[in-house]
């Protein structure tokens, strides 16, 4: 259980991650800001309390791996990696603003801390499965975490991967489904209903836990409890709010890939204390 002091610290730090994501998107005039803000709390607790890594040696063989299968949420990943020391925070200002930037609209491995080029939905999850299988073959004890969108689970490749991960007993694999119930064009369940989601994962041989993806105690406790069932991969279905922390964006489908204008940023700055864009 997180002590009150640490809980408050983690929440304050995650708020700074959100501010950086909002700044990057506003400066560049592009980005998938809503999805990034929604997954920030889960990602920050994961990197702050659970993942094993060395930011000065990103290729350390025994590190835990994170695959952001929903690569369009990379604004959160970039801000987290910078704040964890993988690269200088000044680099965040180059997001989608110059030729050959290392911070593009989807993550690429040339950026320290990024494990795989992702963005084509359904693929990153299976890259993570391959990494977890490699760990078993090499008798390594690192964990592999994959973050999926709930709309992404409409992809058939997700369920092929889920079946194979259970078959090979990959209890070093943790999938996190960002269950915000919104995707690019509409509410997920109106595009293609995915419920009963927890029961589906369980039927494929996974240990399952559903949590509030903004409750730090629940996030921490779920990540601390993996594997949920010995010998089986684990999935955390994190119920989140797309656009969390930016009032004009919360739970609005258009904010899947909408970003604030500079005028909107100034208004939000008065409310949230975002700081200068420069």
Average pLDDT over residues 185-201: 97
Residue 160's pLDDT is what?
Answer: 98
How far is it, in rounded angstroms, from Cα 78 to Cα 108? 11
DSSP 8-state class, residue 231: T
Task: For helices 216-225 and 33-45, give the axis angle rounded to 10 degrees.
Answer: 60
Helices (H) and strands (E) in the chain, counts: 9, 5
pLDDT class of 98 with cuts at 50, 70, 90:
confident
15 contacts 37 by C-beta, under 8 angstroms:
no
Relative to beta strand 207-212, strand 173-179 is unpaired
Average pLDDT over residues 69-76: 98
- Sign of the CA dihedral 191, 196, 198, 203? negative
DSSP readout, 54-103?
Answer: -TT-TT-TT--EEEESSGGGHHHHHHHHHHTTSS-GGGGGGTTTSTT-SS
DSSP 8-state class, residue 118: -
Residue 278's pLDDT is what?
Answer: 83
Residue 41's pLDDT is what?
Answer: 98
How far is it, in rounded angstroms, from Cα 157 to Cα 173? 17
Residue 99 has pLDDT above 90, yes or no: no
Q: Which domains does the chain have, with CATH numbers?
A: 4-272 (3.40.50.970)
Average pLDDT over residues 86-105: 95
pLDDT, the chain, mean: 97
Share of residues in the chain with pLDDT > 70 (%)? 100
Share of residues in the chain with pLDDT > 90 (%)? 99
Name the burial class of residue 6, with classes exposed (0-12), middle (13-18) and buried (19+) by CB atoms within 10 angstroms of its CB.
middle
DSSP 8-state class, residue 168: T
Neighbouring-strand partners of residue 235: 175, 208
Q: Which helix (H) or strand (E) holds 18?
A: helix 4-28
pTM equals 0.97
Q: Which helix (H) or strand (E) holds 43?
A: helix 33-45
**Residue length, the chain?**
278
Summarised one tens digit per residue, pLDDT across range 28-50 is 999 999 999 999 999 999 999 99
Q: Which helix (H) or strand (E) holds 6?
A: helix 4-28
Residue 250 has pLDDT above 90, yes or no: yes
Reduce the DSSP state of residue 236 to 3 states and report it.
Answer: strand
Residue 236's pLDDT is what?
Answer: 99
Reduce the DSSP state of residue 275 to 3 states and report it.
Answer: coil
How far is it, in rounded angstroms, from Cα 106 to Cα 201? 27
């Amino acid at each position: 259980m997180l002590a009150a002091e640490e809980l408050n610290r983690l929440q304050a730090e995650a708020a700074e991650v959100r501010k950086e994501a909002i700044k990057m998107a506003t400066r560049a005039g592009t980005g998938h800001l809503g999805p990034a803000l929604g997954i920030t709390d889960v990602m920050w607790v994961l990197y702050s309390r659970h993942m094993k890594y060395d930011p000065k040696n990103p290729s350390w063989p025994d590190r835990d791996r994170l695959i952001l299968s929903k690569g369009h949420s990379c604004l959160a990943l970039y801000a987290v990696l910078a704040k964890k020391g993988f690269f200088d925070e000044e680099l965040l200002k180059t997001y989608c603003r110059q030729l050959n930037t290392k911070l593009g609209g989807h993550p690429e491995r040339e950026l320290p801390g990024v494990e795989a080029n992702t963005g084509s939905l359904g693929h990153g999850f299976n890259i993570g499965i391959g990494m977890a299988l490699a760990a078993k073959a090499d008798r390594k004890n690192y964990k592999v975490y994959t973050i999926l969108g709930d709309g992404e689970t409409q992809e058939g490749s997700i369920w092929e991967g889920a079946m194979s991960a259970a078959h090979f007993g990959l209890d070093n694999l943790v999938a996190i489904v960002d269950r915000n119930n919104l995707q690019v064009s509409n509410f997920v369940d109106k595009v293609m209903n995915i419920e009963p989601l927890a029961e589906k994962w369980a039927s494929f041989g996974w240990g399952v836990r559903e949590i509030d993806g903004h409750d730090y105690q629940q996030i921490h406790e779920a990540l601390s409890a993996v594997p949920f069932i010995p010998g089986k991969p684990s999935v955390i279905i994190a119920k989140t709010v797309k656009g969390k922390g930016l009032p004009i964006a919360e739970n609005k489908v258009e904010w899947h890939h909408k970003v604030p204008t500079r005028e909107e940023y100034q208004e939000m700055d008065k409310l949230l204390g975002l700081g200068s864009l420069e």
